[in-house]
Chain A
């Protein structure tokens, strides 16, 4: 059964508008609107998911067919990512249902919905300017999210992150806009598939300049080194939910946009697969840098932030290998990260909720004793992030290693091994703190909603870890989209 995928944009947008309005006169209702919106999105996604097995789900807006109007092309890759994003947003929203009053709740709820709108929009739109608009929506939501402080947190850190992100994000968005302008000037169209169709005939100079601006702009959004200075600051100062949204929703949208623009649109216009090489090595550098930085940080929020950066690098590197196994591995890593990171953020937010400033690693100490359910969920999250079988990350790393091996990328493999060891270092440190029961710690009950969501994500980790097979068909489409631009072109011009 197919539902118009444009609903995935409309529902959260309407919800985002409704939240502040209803909160003026009906506070009780306003709390539930984002949840309803997200559940609505989830239902739409669930209904459409089956169709993704046969290819992309498209929709025409405003009655204008593909060459003219804005079209929505939910490719299987985009659909998979959108599903994950909705899942992460639901995770963030449901986990905080515990009857407590929180400061800035209305703004927070609105911005979560905005961020989801923008991110899902970026992923499923088929129009490059529309993508820019959604990018801006995401970025604006990101700034506001970053500015919302943790409860009882040291003042100033949140504003610092917000200011840095506003500035850097602003630069990013204008670079992207400049790139769009260049592409439009050269091809006179804004449809992604049409630009891809016409890119061969375009002057290399324009394509190169467009790639440069778009790569930098979208690279900033997807936290690539060395464009990611803003990221740790945002992670450090904001709520745990913001952290998981940045790593699971906002950043992932930027990542897909970057991959689609680079591989589907621009790569054929430049020589020697240079786009792939640049992305590959930038990704590898990001991985190494992110993991090393996480290894040497002690504030948990920063550790997880840097770890997200590292994973973004890993994803970009594996998608850029340009072989089927690399893309397959990248997809599995993507799913693994989207499932594991929110768990870690959530449990860390729970364990460190009484800390005023930074949350040191030691605040996890004895978690397994003081709150066994939180300890177990977090342990599984950590193991899933390292790549313990059975977890999606395990399959991801396996495919990545065999793909890198089959391409003979020895430097990449050594970077991957060193990065993995760093990763194991800091995640192991977290594990040891969780299981360090030398000091008695007061019993601490995990709020029910948080526990349920954590357990649900753990279940998904095991499900995909044990039975990755059913994803194969979707992954085939992901490979098709990223390896051969003609596929995307044919999907777009239906």
Chain B
């Protein structure tokens, strides 16, 4: 089965699915079926290849376009990590979307656009030169824009923001491409590596900045993050899970590519150290930490549940950037581990929320509440997702954050820790807000008759939930993949066994932690049942302390409106979206500069003729001065 190892096979499978889904978009069930089948086959191929361990790291497949120009594809374990997380997530999300999309108005080819963007994302991870990367990058970015407009107010603005930042990111890649082409005359990744090795400090800094612009935008790194809450908040609900869980990973992949592959540890270390980190690493880590903080605090202040999760996603990706910036074996492993975790838990969170929105049609936390009573399974999946996001043991979310923190501690970083600590506090607060506002508390009367989420929505969620819990016992399983990935980018993974991880500071045993948690849980259960069982009390009695409320009074006792009003009052002045306002200012100033032409080209014919002869004189002067005229 050599054919299966060809990267092109994957693209052809997915491309066929995308093409049919696009052509048959009016017959939605066909489109859905085709997408699910093709993406499932693709996921199977990916898993199969991974399990066999047959990744030919050095092999490169070329497709000639021009005489001296070909597109190159290839895989190694490093890109396989990202490829797998994207390709495996896709069929789950597609199955999940079956039910919610079935009843939607047929006004856009949802599955076709989804699949094109999937092809793009898969292609990005398999590209082996900057041109191919750029090509697939565009393919991945633009179909999404049509999925953003969900018809809610301000979704138009979200589209515009996404468009603008998408362009910024594309320009960044073109900039990198120019640098590499200037330095080496080619655009392959090997050329990029050589360009950085030969290049001056200025070139390297330009590379980092352009990389932040190109890939940081996709991964919602501050200050390029402002498109993300808007876009995540306004995409079609089922797609958001893939958008935030899958597509944002390509940005992370690009960032790793720039920092750890193109520039590489040797060069990074050669610049001395700041706070125990390399200067470039410190810059990235501090930006990541700030992103985590901003994301966390902004998430805390959202009433729109999708925006809350969107900001939380920004915050989590910020942690990955911290891991990338801190560098070294522990933190890098943590960052890569967090990539896998984030893919899973962010997908399950958006799926759970999507199920709630699908059943209730409501996305404001202040209007929800008590969903645990009507959608228990969804709640449990969501809860596990929240646990993973907040790095609470019982889920695999703990291991990755632990590694990132350990990595930071190993290097003895001073300033990062307080920022990350604040970000964690914010993470706790927003996690609680969405749990309390959405799932706990009193169930609204209008939502009394809601059913549990449909089975097609539940299955993917449950699969991911189980994966999150099982992997918590055996962190060695993902570590196997991570260590191979790190070997491919020339790094050594930290020590690990099937059930435990080691770092320079200490060790983490998934099994022990889980057993402790389970033991605690069993103790609690035993204690609970050792006492006589209480009477089951109606929810309302809990709120009214058993008193009969005044008749005709508003029967709501659960309020999630302005949940964190005191904190908000305190934090608002500092987190009033000033980055967004800054970008708006940039836009405004450039518009004004662009309008300057009106003072030149104002319709005055004589003015045009003056310009013509003025240009003639100017060119004449240039000719005289530099061209040896006369």
- Write the residues of chain A forming the contact surface with B, with a CB cutoff of 8 angstroms: 163-164, 167-168, 171, 204-205, 208, 211-212, 215-216, 219-220, 226-227, 229-230, 232-233, 270-272, 274-275, 277-278, 289, 292-293, 295-296, 328, 383, 388-389, 394, 397-398, 401-408, 413, 417, 420-422, 424-425, 428, 431-432, 435-438, 468-469, 472
Contacts and interface: CB of A to CB of B under 8 A. Distances in A.
Sort A-B residue pairs by CB-CB distance and give the 3 closest, nearest first: A405-B178, A229-B608, A274-B627
A226 B167 contact: no
Given A211-B623, A226-B600, A274-B622, A389 B138 contact: yes
Given A226-B615, A424-B167, 16 more contacts: A164-B605, A167-B609, A168-B609, A215-B619, A226-B614, A229-B612, A233-B603, A270-B623, A271-B627, A274-B626, A292-B596, A296-B595, A328-B66, A402-B177, A405-B177, A468-B66
B601 A229 contact: yes
Interface in B597-628: 597-598, 600-601, 603, 605, 607-609, 611-612, 614-616, 619-620, 622-624, 626-628
Interface stretch (B158-166, B388-396, B546-554): B158-166
Given A164-B605, A216-B616, A431 B163 contact: yes
Nearest to A325: B181
A362 B540 CA distance: 53
Contact of B174 (A397, A432, A468): A397
B179 interface: yes
Given A164-B605, A229-B608, A295-B594, A436 B628 contact: no
B90 to A, nearest CB: 21
Interface in B295-338: none
Contacts of B616: 212, 216
Contacts of A436: 156
Interface of A is mostly: helix
A395 to B, nearest CB: 8
Nearest to A205: B630
A432 B608 contact: no
A405 B622 CA distance: 25
B576 interface: no
Contact of A293 (B167, B601, B603): B601
B178 A295 contact: no
Contacts of A212: 616, 619-620, 623
Nearest to B591: A296
Contact of A401 (B66, B177, B593, B605): B177
With most chain A CB atoms within 10 A of its CB, the pick from B149, B595, B612 is B612
Contacts of A404: 178
Contact of A428 (B66, B163, B607): B163
Interface of B is mostly: helix
B175 interface: yes
A274 B626 CA distance: 7
A389 B135 contact: yes
B597 A296 contact: yes
B131 interface: yes
B185 A227 contact: no
Given A274-B622, A468-B65, A398 B630 contact: no
A425 B178 contact: no
B627 A389 contact: no
Interface string B127-151: 0000100110011001000100100
B180 interface: yes
A227 B163 contact: no
Nearest to A379: B146
Contacts of B64: 469
A412 B142 CA distance: 26
A220 B626 CA distance: 23
B271 interface: no
Given A405-B178, A421-B167, A436-B156, A227 B615 contact: yes
B469 interface: no
B583 interface: no
Contact of B66 (A164, A432, A438, A472): A472
Contact of A432 (B67, B159, B181, B603): B159
Contacts of A388: 138, 142
A50 B630 CA distance: 46
Contacts of B163: 424, 428, 431-432
A166 B65 CA distance: 45
> Interface residue tally of chain B, by bracket?
35 or more
A5 to B, nearest CB: 27
B168 interface: yes
Nearest to B624: A208
Nearest to A290: B597
A413 B175 contact: yes
B187 interface: yes
A402 B178 contact: yes
B612 A401 contact: no
Contacts of B564: none
A477 B163 CA distance: 38
A446 B590 CA distance: 36
Contact of B178 (A205, A208, A401, A424): A401
A420 B175 CA distance: 12
B139 A296 contact: no
Contacts of A208: 620, 623-624, 627, 629-630
Given A424-B164, A469-B66, A406 B627 contact: no
Interface in B162-207: 163-164, 167-168, 171, 174-175, 177-182, 185, 187
A296 B600 CA distance: 14
Contact of A413 (B167, B178, B623): B178
Contacts of B138: 388-389, 394
B227 to A, nearest CB: 13
Contact of B67 (A168, A226, A472): A472
A204 B630 contact: yes
B182 A408 contact: yes
A402 B187 contact: yes
Contacts of A292: 593-594, 596-597
Given A208-B627, A212-B619, A406-B185, A230 B134 contact: no
A405 B167 contact: no
A300 to B, nearest CB: 17
With most chain B CB atoms within 10 A of its CB, the pick from A204, A271, A272, A389 is A389
B65 A469 contact: yes
25 contacts: A163-B605, A164-B605, A204-B629, A212-B616, A216-B612, A216-B615, A227-B612, A230-B608, A270-B623, A270-B628, A272-B626, A272-B627, A274-B622, A289-B597, A292-B597, A383-B142, A398-B174, A402-B181, A402-B187, A413-B178, A420-B174, A428-B163, A428-B164, A432-B156, A432-B163
B375 to A, nearest CB: 32
A398 to B, nearest CB: 6
Contacts of A394: 135, 138
